[in-house]
Amino acid sequence: SQKQDLKNKQVLITAGGTIEPLDPVRYLTNRSSGKMGYALAENALLRGATVILISAPTQLKPPFGAKVIAVQTALEMAKAVETYYSKMDIVIMAAAVSDYRAAKPAAQKIKKRDTTLALQLVENPDILLGLGAKKKQQLLVGFAAETQQLVQNAAKKMVKKRVDLLVANDVSRSDIGFGSNQNEVTFLRPHQKPLLVKKTTKEEIAAQIFDVLLSQ
């Protein structure tokens, strides 16, 4: 039997890879399957939380009992997160958010013309950075997807984005991270030593994330 240790808690989770249209038929995205974020939503529900799952497109079944808000772009995700943030107890940004979008998505399909094609991109807002800057009661969790110097790069994100917990994963490995059913992560918390969580299922990683948050 699962302890109801998130009873009466409002938990917001983002999941999946945002998509950014280039023209009516093409878009930019990344390799996120949504599995990590959905596992977090499932675990929070098991523990009795009220769960809002803000999800970019995935192939996954919506977790039973969660309020699921479907979004596509980073700007849509930012707006949805903004709507609920002030009332939340825990916010976890597991989504892979596109850092850039097309400066001006084409109204018509881009025609094939030359041997090269330049796309002009503009920066998306950093959703998590904005949340960290106006954090009140919320426990804030970020992820860091890195391909090199995992702990050093993730530690910078922890400080810059003012999160209570930063979950770092190495997305250069095909057996963990994007798409896989398993993950291996390092937990980084302010004023504490990094804690390695050895390769295990995303369900188990999700459970450990809430365990760590509740033991702070």
User: Using CB under 6 A as the criterion, which residues of the chain lie in contact with ligand PMT when the complex forms?
Assistant: 32-36, 74, 93-97, 99, 124, 126-128, 142-145, 157, 169, 171, 177-179
Q: What positions carry a catalytic annotation?
A: 30
User: Measured from the CB atom, is 45 or 94 closer to ligand PMT?
Assistant: 94
User: Measured from the CB atom, is 32 or 43 closer to ligand PMT?
Assistant: 32
> Binding residue per annotation — 136?
no
Q: Is 37 helix (H, G, I), strand (E, B) or coil?
A: helix
- For 119, which DSSP code? -
**Do residues 45 and 69 lie in contact, with contact meaning Cβ atoms separated by under 8 Å?**
no
> Binding residue per annotation — 211?
no
User: Measured from the CB atom, is 57 or 105 closer to ligand PMT?
Assistant: 57
> Binding residue per annotation — 128?
yes
- For 59, which DSSP code? S
> Binding residue per annotation — 126?
yes
> Binding residue per annotation — 127?
yes
User: Measured from the CB atom, is 28 or 110 closer to ligand PMT?
Assistant: 28
Give the closest residue to 51 by CA, choosing from 37, 76, 36, 68.
Answer: 68
Q: How far is CA 87 from CA 18, 36, 75, 208, in A?
A: 24, 23, 20, 24
**Min. distance of Cβ 133 from ligand PMT in angstroms?**
12
Task: State in Å, rounded, how far the first CA of the chain is from the last one.
Answer: 23
B/e letters for 85-119, b = 16+ CB within 10 Å, e = fewer, are: beebbbbbbbbbbbeebbeeeeeeeeeeeeeeeee
**Min. distance of Cβ 75 from ligand PMT in angstroms?**
10
- Please give the annotated binding residues, written as ranges: 99, 109, 125-128, 143, 157, 161
